[in-house]
Amino acid sequence: MKKYLNLYLISILFIYAGLAHFINPQFYINITPSFIPLKQFLVDLTGVLEILGGILILFKTTRKTGVYLLLGLLILFFIVHLDMLFTYQVSENFILNKSLLLIRIIIQFILIGWVISLLKLFPNKNNV
């Protein structure tokens, strides 16, 4: 039962995170590093990929693909988090400081471990 709770929580988290890219795209555009072009396209693309990953992990036959997709995104998002840590200027609209940004990076490692745990919680020939 606990393994299914983990599965559903991760799925809901990433589907919601993906939807947030479309609900409040300006937030994601604002935190995208300045050296990255095509911000709107990439915000939309990562939103779709988060939703897709959240759906793929729900099914035994696509779980491994979903896990690897989500892991790739989480690793890619380190670029954003590290850029924010070193270059982001806190504005009136954001309640961010260096401590919170460091905590966000730690959370990123926790999320990576949590997603990887799905391969161990649901071992089968498709997850080897």
Cα 88 to Cα 68: distance, rounded to the nearest angstrom: 29
Q: What residues contact 43, with CB distance under 8 A and at least 6 apart?
A: 21, 25, 28, 29, 32
Residue ranges of domains in the chain: 2-122
- As a whole number, mean pLDDT of residues 57-86 equals 92
pLDDT of amino acid 61: 92
**What percentage of the chain carries pLDDT values higher than 70?**
88
Q: For residue 1, give the DSSP letter.
A: -
The predicted-structure confidence for 17-33, as pLDDT tens digits, reads as follows 999 999 999 999 988 88
**What percentage of the chain carries pLDDT values higher than 90?**
61
Neighbours of 65 (CB within 10 A): 15
- As a whole number, mean pLDDT of residues 45-59 equals 97
What's the pTM value of the predicted model, to 2 decimals? 0.86
